[in-house]
Amino acid sequence: MRILRSSATIKAAVAAVLGALLATSAAAGPSAAAPKTAAVQKDQLRTDLTAGPESAVRYTRTSGYITADYQITFWQGPVLVGTLSGTYVESERLNVKSNTWKRQWTIKATSATGVAQGGVTSLVKVSCGRGSSACTSTGPQTKHVRAGQSVTFGFNITSRGSKILTHKPVLNVTTTAPGYSPAVGNVAAMRTVRCDSEKITNGGRRGCVYPSVVPNFSLSRTSRVWGEMARHVYAAERTLNGQPGYARPLHRTTSDQGTRNRRRSCPSRLHRPRGKECDEYPYASVQEGGGNKGLGKKCNTIDPNATQSCRMIDADDNHKGGGQLTKFYNDNRIIAYRSGSKIIGDAFFSRVP
pLDDT band at 178 (very low <50, low <70, confident <90, very high): confident
Per-residue pLDDT at 295: 56
Per-residue pLDDT at 133: 67
Distance of CA 25 to the CA centre of its chain: 29
Looking at the predicted structure, is the pLDDT value of residue 19 above 60? no
pLDDT band at 52 (very low <50, low <70, confident <90, very high): low
Model's pTM, two decimal places? 0.84
Looking at the predicted structure, is the pLDDT value of residue 210 above 80? yes
Instruction: Provide the mean pLDDT of the chain.
Output: 85
User: Which residues lie closer than 8 Å to 38 by C-beta, 6 or more apart?
Assistant: none
Mean pLDDT of 172-185: 80
CA distance 319 to 277: 9
Residue 202: phi and psi, rounded to 5, are 50, 35
Name the residue among 146, 169, 54 with its Cα closest to residue 100. Answer: 169
Per-residue pLDDT at 151: 98
CA distance 237 to 246: 6
| Three-point CA angle 24, 119, 36, nearest 5° | 40
Residues linked to residue 106 through DSSP beta bridges, in sequence order: 89, 152
Q: Count the Cβ atoms, other than its own, within 10 Å of residue 105.
A: 23
Mean pLDDT of 132-144: 89
Per-residue pLDDT tens digits for 272-306: 999 999 999 999 999 999 876 545 456 888 989 88
Per-residue pLDDT at 176: 83
Containing 76, the helix (H) or strand (E) segment is strand 63-76
Between 62 and 20, residue with greater pLDDT: 62
Per-residue pLDDT at 8: 38
DSSP string, 310-342: EEEEEHHHHHHHHHHHHHHHHHHT--EEEETTE
Among 44-48, 128-132, 186-190, 243-247, the minimum mean pLDDT is found in 44-48
CA distance 245 to 1: 64
pLDDT band at 73 (very low <50, low <70, confident <90, very high): confident
Looking at the predicted structure, is the pLDDT value of residue 142 above 80? yes
Mean pLDDT of 137-141: 96
Sheet holding 141-145, edge to edge: 23-24, 183-186, 170-176, 120-127, 141-145
Name the residue among 49, 48, 45, 47 with its Cα closest to residue 77. Answer: 45
Mean pLDDT of 120-131: 88
Looking at the predicted structure, is the pLDDT value of residue 83 above 70? yes
Per-residue pLDDT at 47: 65
Among 29-43, 131-145, 192-206, the minimum mean pLDDT is found in 29-43
Per-residue pLDDT tens digits for 4-16: 444 333 333 333 3
Identify whether 282 is preceded by a cis peptide bond (ω within 30 of 0). yes
